[in-house]
A and B are shown apart, each in its own frame.
Chain A
Amino acid sequence: MLKIKDMSVAVEGKEIIHDVNMTIQKGETHVLFGPNGAGKTTLLMAIMGFPKYRVTKGSISFKGKDITGLTVDERARLGIGMSFQRPPVVRGVKTRDMVAACLKGHGDGDTIDKLANKTDLSEFLERDINYGFSGGEIKRSELMQLLAQKPELTLLDEPESGVDLVNIVLIGELMNDLLEKNCPILYRKCMGLIITHTGHILDYVNARTGYVMCNGTIGCVGDPHEMLATIRERGYDECIKCYLGRVPTHE
């Protein structure tokens, strides 16, 4: 379980997220909507533990453990994984090396080849990670690394952005794998938190909880499909207006 309690996050001294509460139970995938600049990425970065995203108030606990003070790598080893929207190029570090690092010894060259095959990246294994990758290739490469890492909590930042229609099917399948969509909910262990703009991703993942985030706070919690319909029809403004003044009911 991931439990965020009254958390505020500051970036370079400026508070971006204010008093956010969120609970993701074992086996659940939640979706985060919100306009640009709402603080969605900041929330994900803070959960992952990047030093630039400083928790100024409240706490994050994961699997019953307070992780607010843990470093990025400690959280990763505890089972939190994240797909980067714009990952850096690391010259000389091959895609294969990255997948091997994610596997941490739980698999060999054969495992890597299979994962590459599955993500249609076989020809990218010997290339420098992210160097000259297209948008879709970056998404698939991030998912390949996560499939190797097998996190219990997967954080995905707009997995569908910049991806064409052919790729989105593959990406949807890979996310299902990661989030164990085909596993009966009772036995499902994996959790997910997904940022989406378009909502396309709802066609592929089994998400029953959605949030709308505006100005650094979570304005509403509810059924993501319903939310998406409202946002599509009337935009975020309407969404905000509708829930204005409502206290988050999720807690």
Chain B
Amino acid sequence: MSKASTSGTNKDKARAAANKTASLGEDIDLSKYVSSDDQHPYRDNPSQLPAKAKGQMLDAGVMLDDTSQRSGTYIQMDNTPVHSSVSQEGVEVMPVSQAMEKYDWFGDYWWQAVAVDQDKYTANIELNQYSGYFIRALPGQKTVFPVQACLYLVKDKLEQNVHNIIIAEEGSELHIITGCTTATRDEPGLHLGVSEFYIKRGAKVTFTMIHSWNPETAVRPRTAAIIEEDGLFMSNYLMMKPVRSLQMYPTARCVGENATVRYNSILVAGEGSSLDVGSRVFLDGKGSRTEIITRAITTGGNIIARGYIEGNAPEVKGHLECRGLILGEKGLIHAIPELKGNLAGIDLSHEAAIGKIAEEEVEYLMARGLTRDEATATIVRGFLRVDIEGLPTLLVEELRRAVEASEKEVM
């Protein structure tokens, strides 16, 4: 597949879908946002970025002053890649535009997991393409430290268009931590992002994403992963800060035998926030497995927590778990777990529960001497703790710190 031929078709498809309303989520009026390609200066050393920006990025898990615990870094401000580097052999990190020039096989991965004409957001990304990251682990290469990527929204009313490609070649191991955040706490902005993951035979990818938008941001990520035989994809998503409207339904396809996918999501919606977040897995390979775990807390906002598992091959196993906590008088959680099985011998299950904190649990902790507030905080902290099997200790610690740093949004 050559780059030129796919590019023509993609543009045509995108033009045809330019006004196609998405099936889920509030329809975003794209004309309210500016599609700017104002350039931000490139930084050889990301620690030269302004202290304020670095602080905001750090809140989203991206550390720039000391990158010794990172195997690579990619920073994008608005629509400009301002830094990309690697510090470990066997990993590639660069803007997609560069990868497109470098590799003649690039088209084999471009719009192959996500459909360019899925909706007007994907179409818009193709029609107003600026950049995004390309992260690739070479065959058999196992990274110890994660690659970090930051998508940073600076300009008022900007439409940030991002298209990312992540490839884990056969037998490789790749850990990624991405932080998405904004420079201001009150200016409107729109983030449109496509991420396509290709996890080859026996490869392992952990993807930890921390969203830290502002109360005026609208966010429409479109993510899909294709997992081959014995591959593992683990996605950890943390969304605890206010956002105006966020809708995403990342999809994974286990195409190979014994492929495994895990989705862990922690969602918090304060007043004014509207989240429609799901995880969808197709178990197409024999013996493939998935586990989807969602913890949702509303302190006044609305959350739709979706989950979908479809078993299409023998001996597949999937479990979906969604627990929601309503803190306070207002707020809504709507859990929509769905299972679809197409043949005998598959094992799919789900459990969903929504409620308030059990008084019995509060009193149990109070009987040990904790005040009511301390007991409540302990229970909420426990609720937000998802034990993530297989995530490197470093990332477990960082995730824990990020959750703790955001706990004040809840308590």
Q: With A50-B363, A72-B363, A84-B364 in contact, do A92 and B370 touch (Cβ < 8 Å)?
A: no
The number of residues on chain B lying at the interface, defined by a beta carbon within 8 Å of a beta carbon of chain A, is 24
A93 CB–B CB distance under 8 Å: yes
Interface hits, B91-113 → A, CB 8 Å: none
A141 to chain B, nearest CB (A): 12
B328 CB–A CB distance under 8 Å: no
B197 to chain A, nearest CB (A): 28
Give CA–CA (A97, B369) in the complex, Å: 13
Q: Is there an interface contact between A92 and B361, defined as CB atoms closer than 8 Å?
A: no
Interface stretch of the complex, out of A34-42, A98-106, A171-179, A226-234: A98-106
Pick the contact of A48: B360, B361, B367, B379 (CB < 8 A): B367
Q: Is there an interface contact between A92 and B366, defined as CB atoms closer than 8 Å?
A: no
B69 CB–A CB distance under 8 Å: no
What B residues does A102 contact at CB under 8 A? 368-369
B378 CB–A CB distance under 8 Å: yes
What A residues does B374 contact at CB under 8 A? 101
What A residues does B384 contact at CB under 8 A? 92
Give CA–CA (A76, B369) in the complex, Å: 5
Interface hits, A118-138 → B, CB 8 Å: 128
What A residues does B378 contact at CB under 8 A? 90, 93, 97, 101
Q: Is there an interface contact between B383 and A92, defined as CB atoms closer than 8 Å?
A: yes
Interface hits, A173-215 → B, CB 8 Å: none
B365 CB–A CB distance under 8 Å: yes
Q: Is there an interface contact between A91 and B382, defined as CB atoms closer than 8 Å?
A: yes
Cβ contacts A to B, 18 pairs, < 8 Å = A50-B363, A72-B363, A73-B366, A76-B366, A76-B367, A76-B368, A76-B369, A77-B369, A82-B367, A88-B361, A90-B365, A90-B379, A91-B323, A91-B382, A93-B381, A101-B365, A102-B368, A104-B369
Give CA–CA (A213, B386) in the complex, Å: 46
What 6 A-B pairs have minimum CB-CB distances, sorted nearest first? A92-B382, A93-B382, A76-B369, A73-B366, A92-B385, A72-B366
Interface hits, B270-321 → A, CB 8 Å: none
Q: Is there an interface contact between B369 and A73, defined as CB atoms closer than 8 Å?
A: yes
Q: Is there an interface contact between B383 and A91, defined as CB atoms closer than 8 Å?
A: yes
Q: Is there an interface contact between A73 and B382, defined as CB atoms closer than 8 Å?
A: no
Q: Is there an interface contact between A145 and B368, defined as CB atoms closer than 8 Å?
A: yes
**A binding-site residues for B, Cβ under 8 Å:** 48, 50-51, 71-73, 76-77, 81-82, 84, 87-88, 90-94, 97-98, 101-102, 104, 128, 145, 149
What residue of chain B has the Cβ atom nearest to residue A92's Cβ?
Answer: B382
What B residues does A104 contact at CB under 8 A? 369
Give CA–CA (A88, B384) in the complex, Å: 18
Give CA–CA (A82, B368) in the complex, Å: 8
B40 CB–A CB distance under 8 Å: no
Q: Is there an interface contact between A73 and B361, defined as CB atoms closer than 8 Å?
A: no
What A residues does B379 contact at CB under 8 A? 90, 92-93
Pick the contact of A101: B358, B368, B383, B385 (CB < 8 A): B368
Q: With A88-B358, A88-B360 in contact, do A72 and B382 touch (Cβ < 8 Å)?
A: no
Pick the contact of A92: B358, B363, B364, B381 (CB < 8 A): B381
B372 CB–A CB distance under 8 Å: yes
Pick the contact of B371: A73, A97, A145 (CB < 8 A): A73
What A residues does B365 contact at CB under 8 A? 90, 93, 98, 101
Q: With A72-B363, A88-B360, A90-B361 in contact, do A149 and B368 touch (Cβ < 8 Å)?
A: yes
Give CA–CA (A93, B374) in the complex, Å: 13
What residue of chain B has the Cβ atom nearest to residue A145's Cβ?
Answer: B368
Interface hits, B328-377 → A, CB 8 Å: 358, 360-361, 363-372, 374-375
Q: Is there an interface contact between A88 and B383, defined as CB atoms closer than 8 Å?
A: no
What B residues does A82 contact at CB under 8 A? 367
Give CA–CA (A145, B367) in the complex, Å: 11
Give CA–CA (A149, B369) in the complex, Å: 8
What residue of chain B has the Cβ atom nearest to residue A86's Cβ?
Answer: B360
Give CA–CA (A90, B366) in the complex, Å: 13
Q: Is there an interface contact between A72 and B361, defined as CB atoms closer than 8 Å?
A: no
What residue of chain B has the Cβ atom nearest to residue A104's Cβ?
Answer: B369
What residue of chain B has the Cβ atom nearest to residue A155's Cβ?
Answer: B367
Pick the contact of B369: A84, A87, A101 (CB < 8 A): A101
A67 to chain B, nearest CB (A): 14
What residue of chain B has the Cβ atom nearest to residue A87's Cβ?
Answer: B364
Give CA–CA (A84, B361) in the complex, Å: 12
Give CA–CA (A77, B366) in the complex, Å: 9
What B residues does A101 contact at CB under 8 A? 365, 368-370, 374, 378
Give CA–CA (A102, B367) in the complex, Å: 9
A201 to chain B, nearest CB (A): 21
Give CA–CA (A82, B385) in the complex, Å: 27
